[in-house]
Protein backbone atom coordinates (compact mmCIF):
# COMPACT_ATOMS: atom_id res chain seq x y z
CA UNK A 1 0.00 0.00 0.00
CA UNK A 2 1.35 3.45 -0.88
CA UNK A 3 1.98 5.90 1.94
CA UNK A 4 0.42 9.37 1.81
CA UNK A 5 3.74 10.86 0.68
CA UNK A 6 4.26 8.17 -1.92
CA UNK A 7 0.71 8.62 -3.19
CA UNK A 8 1.34 12.31 -3.62
CA UNK A 9 4.58 11.57 -5.45
CA UNK A 10 2.81 9.05 -7.69
CA UNK A 11 0.16 11.61 -8.55
CA UNK A 12 2.81 14.18 -9.46
CA UNK A 13 4.66 11.64 -11.59
CA UNK A 14 1.44 10.71 -13.36
CA UNK A 15 0.68 14.35 -14.04
CA UNK A 16 4.19 15.10 -15.29
CA UNK A 17 4.42 11.98 -17.45
CA UNK A 18 0.93 12.23 -18.93
CA UNK A 19 -0.46 15.75 -18.75
CA UNK A 20 2.52 17.98 -19.55
CA UNK A 21 3.93 16.23 -22.63
CA UNK A 22 0.51 15.52 -24.06
CA UNK A 23 -0.73 19.06 -23.55
CA UNK A 24 1.88 20.27 -26.05
CA UNK A 25 0.84 17.71 -28.67
CA UNK A 26 -2.19 16.79 -30.68
CA UNK A 27 -4.65 14.74 -28.62
CA UNK A 28 -3.75 11.07 -28.40
CA UNK A 29 -6.44 8.51 -29.07
CA UNK A 30 -7.38 6.03 -26.36
CA UNK A 31 -9.63 3.14 -27.45
CA UNK A 32 -11.89 1.87 -24.68
CA UNK A 33 -13.87 -1.34 -25.13
CA UNK A 34 -17.09 -1.37 -23.07
CA UNK A 35 -20.77 -2.32 -23.17
CA UNK A 36 -22.32 0.92 -24.40
CA UNK A 37 -24.61 1.07 -21.38
CA UNK A 38 -25.34 4.58 -20.08
CA UNK A 39 -23.42 6.14 -22.95
CA UNK A 40 -24.61 9.73 -22.45
CA UNK A 41 -23.80 9.75 -18.74
CA UNK A 42 -20.39 8.21 -19.34
CA UNK A 43 -19.61 10.93 -21.85
CA UNK A 44 -20.69 13.61 -19.39
CA UNK A 45 -19.01 12.35 -16.24
CA UNK A 46 -16.07 10.27 -17.48
CA UNK A 47 -14.94 10.57 -21.08
CA UNK A 48 -15.24 14.32 -21.65
CA UNK A 49 -13.60 15.29 -18.33
CA UNK A 50 -10.79 12.79 -18.98
CA UNK A 51 -10.24 14.10 -22.49
CA UNK A 52 -10.02 17.65 -21.19
CA UNK A 53 -7.60 16.87 -18.36
CA UNK A 54 -5.28 14.60 -20.35
CA UNK A 55 -5.52 16.08 -23.86
CA UNK A 56 -6.91 12.84 -25.21
CA UNK A 57 -9.60 11.59 -27.55
CA UNK A 58 -11.54 8.58 -26.27
CA UNK A 59 -12.93 6.22 -28.91
CA UNK A 60 -15.51 3.67 -27.78
CA UNK A 61 -15.94 0.13 -29.02
CA UNK A 62 -19.10 -1.42 -27.60
CA UNK A 63 -20.56 -4.90 -27.43
CA UNK A 64 -21.01 -7.85 -25.12
CA UNK A 65 -18.27 -9.49 -23.06
CA UNK A 66 -17.33 -12.49 -25.26
CA UNK A 67 -17.45 -10.63 -28.57
CA UNK A 68 -15.28 -7.77 -27.34
CA UNK A 69 -12.76 -10.08 -25.69
CA UNK A 70 -12.47 -12.19 -28.84
CA UNK A 71 -11.95 -9.08 -30.99
CA UNK A 72 -9.20 -7.87 -28.68
CA UNK A 73 -7.41 -11.22 -28.83
CA UNK A 74 -7.74 -11.58 -32.60
CA UNK A 75 -7.09 -8.09 -33.94
CA UNK A 76 -6.09 -5.86 -31.02
CA UNK A 77 -6.81 -2.18 -31.57
CA UNK A 78 -7.95 -1.61 -27.98
CA UNK A 79 -6.15 0.10 -25.10
CA UNK A 80 -8.47 -0.46 -22.12
CA UNK A 81 -11.16 -3.12 -21.87
CA UNK A 82 -14.01 -3.31 -19.38
CA UNK A 83 -15.24 -6.82 -18.64
CA UNK A 84 -17.07 -8.63 -15.90
CA UNK A 85 -14.67 -10.68 -13.82
CA UNK A 86 -15.74 -14.00 -15.34
CA UNK A 87 -14.56 -12.80 -18.75
CA UNK A 88 -11.51 -10.88 -17.57
CA UNK A 89 -10.30 -14.16 -16.04
CA UNK A 90 -10.46 -15.65 -19.53
CA UNK A 91 -8.43 -12.72 -20.83
CA UNK A 92 -5.83 -13.22 -18.12
CA UNK A 93 -5.57 -16.93 -18.87
CA UNK A 94 -5.06 -16.25 -22.58
CA UNK A 95 -2.38 -13.58 -22.07
CA UNK A 96 -4.53 -10.81 -23.55
CA UNK A 97 -3.68 -8.20 -20.91
CA UNK A 98 -0.61 -6.23 -19.92
CA UNK A 99 0.42 -6.11 -16.29
CA UNK A 100 -0.79 -3.18 -14.23
CA UNK A 101 1.70 -0.83 -12.55
CA UNK A 102 0.14 0.06 -9.16
CA UNK A 103 2.52 3.01 -8.80
CA UNK A 104 0.63 4.71 -11.63
CA UNK A 105 -2.73 4.18 -9.92
CA UNK A 106 -2.64 6.35 -6.77
CA UNK A 107 -6.42 6.03 -6.33
CA UNK A 108 -5.98 2.28 -5.90
CA UNK A 109 -5.15 2.67 -2.22
CA UNK A 110 -8.60 4.15 -1.52
CA UNK A 111 -10.50 1.12 -2.84
CA UNK A 112 -12.13 -1.53 -0.71
CA UNK A 113 -9.60 -4.35 -0.40
CA UNK A 114 -11.79 -6.80 -2.31
CA UNK A 115 -11.76 -4.49 -5.36
CA UNK A 116 -8.04 -3.66 -5.50
CA UNK A 117 -6.86 -6.81 -7.23
CA UNK A 118 -9.80 -9.20 -7.56
CA UNK A 119 -7.84 -11.39 -9.98
CA UNK A 120 -4.28 -10.90 -8.79
CA UNK A 121 -1.99 -7.94 -8.25
CA UNK A 122 -0.71 -8.01 -11.82
CA UNK A 123 -4.12 -7.28 -13.28
CA UNK A 124 -6.76 -4.60 -13.24
CA UNK A 125 -8.96 -3.47 -10.38
CA UNK A 126 -12.69 -3.67 -10.07
CA UNK A 127 -14.12 -0.23 -10.81
CA UNK A 128 -17.70 -1.01 -9.84
CA UNK A 129 -19.24 -3.76 -7.76
CA UNK A 130 -22.45 -5.50 -8.74
CA UNK A 131 -24.64 -8.19 -7.25
CA UNK A 132 -26.33 -11.27 -8.65
CA UNK A 133 -29.67 -11.65 -6.94
CA UNK A 134 -33.45 -11.68 -7.40
CA UNK A 135 -36.03 -9.05 -8.26
CA UNK A 136 -39.77 -9.71 -8.11
CA UNK A 137 -43.10 -7.96 -8.56
CA UNK A 138 -44.32 -7.67 -4.98
CA UNK A 139 -47.91 -7.14 -6.15
CA UNK A 140 -48.04 -10.58 -7.78
CA UNK A 141 -46.48 -12.94 -5.22
CA UNK A 142 -48.10 -14.59 -2.20
CA UNK A 143 -45.20 -13.77 0.13
CA UNK A 144 -41.91 -11.85 -0.12
CA UNK A 145 -38.91 -13.63 -1.60
CA UNK A 146 -36.19 -14.08 1.02
CA UNK A 147 -34.12 -17.02 -0.27
CA UNK A 148 -32.67 -18.35 -3.49
CA UNK A 149 -34.78 -21.45 -2.80
CA UNK A 150 -37.90 -19.38 -3.44
CA UNK A 151 -37.20 -19.56 -7.18
CA UNK A 152 -38.49 -23.14 -6.98
CA UNK A 153 -41.90 -22.15 -5.53
CA UNK A 154 -44.76 -23.89 -7.33
CA UNK A 155 -46.65 -20.60 -7.65
CA UNK A 156 -43.91 -19.31 -9.98
CA UNK A 157 -44.49 -21.94 -12.68
CA UNK A 158 -43.80 -20.29 -16.04
CA UNK A 159 -43.15 -16.91 -14.40
CA UNK A 160 -39.37 -16.82 -13.81
CA UNK A 161 -36.53 -15.61 -16.03
CA UNK A 162 -32.86 -16.27 -15.40
CA UNK A 163 -29.64 -15.53 -17.28
CA UNK A 164 -28.41 -17.95 -19.93
CA UNK A 165 -25.40 -20.11 -19.21
CA UNK A 166 -22.95 -18.10 -21.33
CA UNK A 167 -23.64 -14.86 -19.48
CA UNK A 168 -21.54 -13.71 -16.53
CA UNK A 169 -24.01 -14.84 -13.89
CA UNK A 170 -25.57 -17.88 -15.57
CA UNK A 171 -23.18 -20.45 -14.05
CA UNK A 172 -23.81 -19.02 -10.58
CA UNK A 173 -27.34 -20.39 -10.80
CA UNK A 174 -25.79 -23.87 -10.85
CA UNK A 175 -24.07 -23.07 -7.55
CA UNK A 176 -27.42 -21.89 -6.18
CA UNK A 177 -29.07 -25.14 -7.30
CA UNK A 178 -26.39 -27.11 -5.50
CA UNK A 179 -26.78 -25.05 -2.34
CA UNK A 180 -30.51 -25.81 -2.39
CA UNK A 181 -29.84 -29.53 -1.91
CA UNK A 182 -26.81 -29.10 0.32
CA UNK A 183 -24.05 -29.97 -2.15
CA UNK A 184 -21.03 -28.26 -3.67
CA UNK A 185 -21.86 -27.97 -7.37
CA UNK A 186 -18.20 -28.41 -8.32
CA UNK A 187 -17.83 -31.62 -6.30
CA UNK A 188 -21.27 -33.05 -7.10
CA UNK A 189 -22.59 -31.66 -10.38
CA UNK A 190 -25.05 -34.55 -10.75
CA UNK A 191 -27.00 -33.43 -7.68
CA UNK A 192 -26.70 -29.73 -8.57
CA UNK A 193 -28.09 -30.23 -12.07
CA UNK A 194 -30.83 -32.53 -10.80
CA UNK A 195 -31.87 -29.65 -8.56
CA UNK A 196 -31.65 -27.24 -11.50
CA UNK A 197 -33.84 -29.53 -13.60
CA UNK A 198 -36.54 -29.20 -10.93
CA UNK A 199 -36.51 -25.45 -11.61
CA UNK A 200 -37.22 -25.86 -15.33
CA UNK A 201 -41.06 -25.71 -15.08
CA UNK A 202 -40.77 -22.24 -13.54
CA UNK A 203 -38.46 -20.84 -16.23
CA UNK A 204 -40.19 -19.06 -19.07
CA UNK A 205 -36.97 -17.61 -20.51
CA UNK A 206 -33.21 -17.76 -20.17
CA UNK A 207 -32.12 -14.31 -21.31
CA UNK A 208 -28.82 -12.92 -22.55
CA UNK A 209 -29.11 -9.20 -21.80
CA UNK A 210 -30.55 -6.96 -19.12
CA UNK A 211 -32.79 -5.28 -21.70
CA UNK A 212 -34.44 -8.63 -22.42
CA UNK A 213 -35.35 -9.00 -18.76
CA UNK A 214 -36.71 -5.46 -18.59
CA UNK A 215 -38.96 -6.26 -21.54
CA UNK A 216 -40.15 -9.51 -19.95
CA UNK A 217 -41.19 -7.63 -16.81
CA UNK A 218 -42.75 -4.80 -18.80
CA UNK A 219 -44.97 -7.18 -20.78
CA UNK A 220 -45.94 -9.17 -17.69
CA UNK A 221 -44.39 -12.39 -18.99
CA UNK A 222 -42.37 -12.78 -15.79
CA UNK A 223 -42.86 -11.71 -12.19
CA UNK A 224 -39.53 -13.01 -10.86
CA UNK A 225 -36.07 -12.58 -12.32
CA UNK A 226 -32.58 -13.65 -11.32
CA UNK A 227 -30.32 -10.81 -12.44
CA UNK A 228 -27.35 -8.52 -12.02
CA UNK A 229 -28.43 -5.43 -10.15
CA UNK A 230 -27.49 -2.95 -12.90
CA UNK A 231 -30.88 -3.71 -14.47
CA UNK A 232 -32.86 -2.99 -11.29
CA UNK A 233 -33.51 0.75 -11.91
CA UNK A 234 -34.95 0.10 -15.39
CA UNK A 235 -37.22 -2.68 -14.12
CA UNK A 236 -38.44 -0.58 -11.20
CA UNK A 237 -39.12 2.31 -13.56
CA UNK A 238 -41.34 0.00 -15.63
CA UNK A 239 -42.83 -1.88 -12.65
CA UNK A 240 -43.00 0.36 -9.54
CA UNK A 241 -43.96 -2.63 -7.36
CA UNK A 242 -40.77 -4.53 -8.30
CA UNK A 243 -38.50 -5.16 -5.31
CA UNK A 244 -34.93 -6.34 -4.86
CA UNK A 245 -34.99 -9.39 -2.58
CA UNK A 246 -32.80 -9.53 0.55
CA UNK A 247 -31.63 -13.15 0.40
CA UNK A 248 -30.76 -15.24 3.46
CA UNK A 249 -27.84 -16.87 1.64
CA UNK A 250 -26.54 -13.55 0.32
CA UNK A 251 -25.84 -12.24 -3.17
CA UNK A 252 -22.94 -13.08 -5.42
CA UNK A 253 -20.46 -10.31 -6.11
CA UNK A 254 -19.68 -9.39 -9.71
CA UNK A 255 -16.91 -6.93 -10.44
CA UNK A 256 -16.60 -4.94 -13.61
CA UNK A 257 -12.86 -4.81 -14.16
CA UNK A 258 -10.52 -2.61 -16.19
CA UNK A 259 -7.48 -4.07 -17.92
CA UNK A 260 -4.91 -2.81 -20.39
CA UNK A 261 -4.54 -4.71 -23.65
CA UNK A 262 -1.19 -6.43 -24.04
CA UNK A 263 -0.73 -4.86 -27.49
CA UNK A 264 -1.68 -1.32 -26.43
CA UNK A 265 0.79 1.35 -27.50
CA UNK A 266 -0.70 3.83 -25.01
CA UNK A 267 -0.07 2.09 -21.70
CA UNK A 268 0.78 5.35 -19.91
CA UNK A 269 -2.47 6.98 -21.00
CA UNK A 270 -4.34 3.75 -20.24
CA UNK A 271 -3.06 3.82 -16.65
CA UNK A 272 -4.14 7.45 -16.37
CA UNK A 273 -7.62 6.51 -17.57
CA UNK A 274 -7.97 3.65 -15.10
CA UNK A 275 -6.85 5.89 -12.26
CA UNK A 276 -9.31 8.59 -13.36
CA UNK A 277 -12.18 6.07 -13.37
CA UNK A 278 -11.35 5.26 -9.72
CA UNK A 279 -11.41 8.93 -8.67
CA UNK A 280 -13.96 9.55 -5.88
CA UNK A 281 -15.76 12.28 -7.83
CA UNK A 282 -16.12 10.13 -10.94
CA UNK A 283 -17.21 7.18 -8.81
CA UNK A 284 -19.88 9.26 -7.07
CA UNK A 285 -21.12 10.94 -10.23
CA UNK A 286 -21.63 7.61 -11.99
CA UNK A 287 -23.13 5.95 -8.92
CA UNK A 288 -25.84 8.61 -8.95
CA UNK A 289 -26.19 8.81 -12.74
CA UNK A 290 -26.25 5.12 -13.71
CA UNK A 291 -26.41 3.21 -10.42
CA UNK A 292 -22.83 1.93 -10.33
CA UNK A 293 -21.77 0.27 -7.09
CA UNK A 294 -18.84 2.34 -5.82
CA UNK A 295 -15.52 0.75 -4.84
CA UNK A 296 -13.76 3.90 -3.56
CA UNK A 297 -14.07 4.16 0.23
CA UNK A 298 -14.01 7.96 0.09
CA UNK A 299 -17.35 8.15 -1.70
CA UNK A 300 -20.31 9.08 0.49
CA UNK A 301 -23.84 8.43 -0.75
CA UNK A 302 -27.25 9.05 0.75
CA UNK A 303 -29.58 6.04 1.16
CA UNK A 304 -31.57 7.26 -1.85
CA UNK A 305 -28.42 7.54 -4.00
CA UNK A 306 -27.29 4.05 -2.98
CA UNK A 307 -30.64 2.29 -3.20
CA UNK A 308 -29.87 0.29 -6.35
CA UNK A 309 -26.38 -0.97 -5.54
CA UNK A 310 -24.18 -2.47 -2.86
CA UNK A 311 -22.72 0.38 -0.82
CA UNK A 312 -20.40 0.50 2.16
CA UNK A 313 -17.82 -1.82 3.70
CA UNK A 314 -20.33 -4.08 5.46
CA UNK A 315 -22.54 -4.59 2.40
CA UNK A 316 -19.61 -5.32 0.11
CA UNK A 317 -17.94 -7.67 2.60
CA UNK A 318 -21.15 -9.72 2.83
CA UNK A 319 -21.17 -10.61 -0.87
CA UNK A 320 -20.21 -14.10 -2.03
CA UNK A 321 -17.20 -14.23 -4.36
CA UNK A 322 -17.37 -17.01 -6.97
CA UNK A 323 -14.24 -19.01 -7.74
CA UNK A 324 -13.84 -18.17 -11.41
CA UNK A 325 -10.93 -20.55 -11.82
CA UNK A 326 -13.22 -23.42 -10.83
CA UNK A 327 -16.05 -22.04 -12.95
CA UNK A 328 -13.87 -21.91 -16.05
CA UNK A 329 -12.55 -25.43 -15.43
CA UNK A 330 -16.13 -26.72 -15.09
CA UNK A 331 -17.57 -24.67 -17.96
CA UNK A 332 -17.45 -27.29 -20.73
CA UNK A 333 -19.09 -30.00 -18.62
CA UNK A 334 -21.63 -27.65 -17.07
CA UNK A 335 -22.55 -26.19 -20.46
CA UNK A 336 -23.43 -29.65 -21.80
CA UNK A 337 -25.47 -30.44 -18.70
CA UNK A 338 -27.25 -27.08 -18.89
CA UNK A 339 -28.18 -27.58 -22.54
CA UNK A 340 -29.66 -30.98 -21.78
CA UNK A 341 -32.11 -29.20 -19.47
CA UNK A 342 -32.75 -25.87 -21.17
CA UNK A 343 -31.62 -26.49 -24.75
CA UNK A 344 -29.18 -24.35 -26.70
DSSP for 211-270, please give it. Answer: HHHHHHHHTTS-SEEEEEGGGHHHHHHH-TTEEE---TT-PEEEEEEEEEBTT-S-HHHH
pLDDT at 34 over 60: yes
* Structure confidence at residue 4 as a pLDDT band (50, 70, 90): very low
* Structure confidence at residue 24 as a pLDDT band (50, 70, 90): low
* Structure confidence at residue 1 as a pLDDT band (50, 70, 90): very low
> What value does the mean pLDDT of the chain take?
92
Reported as a single tens digit per residue, the pLDDT across 292-323 is 999 999 999 999 999 888 899 999 988 998 88
pLDDT at 196 over 90: yes
pLDDT value of position 174: 98
pLDDT at 3 over 50: no
Share of the chain above pLDDT 70, in %: 93
CA distances from 16 to 23, 81, 151, 266 (A): 10, 25, 55, 16
pLDDT at 14 over 70: no
pLDDT at 18 over 80: no
pLDDT value of position 22: 47
> Rounded mean pLDDT of 9-37?
70
Looking at domain 132-253+321-342, its CATH superfamily turns out to be: Periplasmic binding protein-like II (3.40.190.10)
pLDDT value of position 25: 83
> Rounded mean pLDDT of 147-160?
98
> Rounded mean pLDDT of 192-198?
99
Q: Would you kindly state where each structural domain of the chain is located, as residue ranges? A: 4-129+255-317, 132-253+321-342
> Rounded mean pLDDT of 176-194?
98
pLDDT value of position 338: 98
CATH topology identical between 4-129+255-317 and 132-253+321-342: yes
Q: If DSSP codes are grouped into helix, strand and coil, which group holds residue 57?
A: strand
Geometric angle at alpha carbon 20, from 15 and 25, rounded to 5°:
135
Reported as a single tens digit per residue, the pLDDT across 218-234 is 999 999 999 999 899 89
pLDDT value of position 37: 84
pLDDT value of position 270: 99
Reported as a single tens digit per residue, the pLDDT across 98-112 is 999 999 999 999 999
Q: Which of 61, 210, 68, 64 is nearest to 130 (CA)?
A: 210
> Rounded mean pLDDT of 7-35?
68
Please check whether residue 34 is in contact with residue 62, taking contact to mean a CB–CB distance below 8 angstroms.
yes
Q: Which of 41, 224, 40 is nearest to 140 (CA)?
A: 224
pLDDT at 57 over 70: yes
Architecture field, domain 4-129+255-317: 3-Layer(aba) Sandwich (3.40)
Amino acid sequence: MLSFKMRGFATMVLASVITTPLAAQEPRTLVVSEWGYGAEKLQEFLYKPFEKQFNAKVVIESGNNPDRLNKLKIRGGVDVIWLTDAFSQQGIDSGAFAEIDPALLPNLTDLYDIAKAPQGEKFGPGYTVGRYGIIYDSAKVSAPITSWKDLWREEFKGKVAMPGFNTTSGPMTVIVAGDRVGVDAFANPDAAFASLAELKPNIVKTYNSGSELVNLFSTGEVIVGALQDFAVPAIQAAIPTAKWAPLDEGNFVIFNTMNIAAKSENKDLAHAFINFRLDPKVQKDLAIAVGDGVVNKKVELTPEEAKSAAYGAEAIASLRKPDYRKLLDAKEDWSKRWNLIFGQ
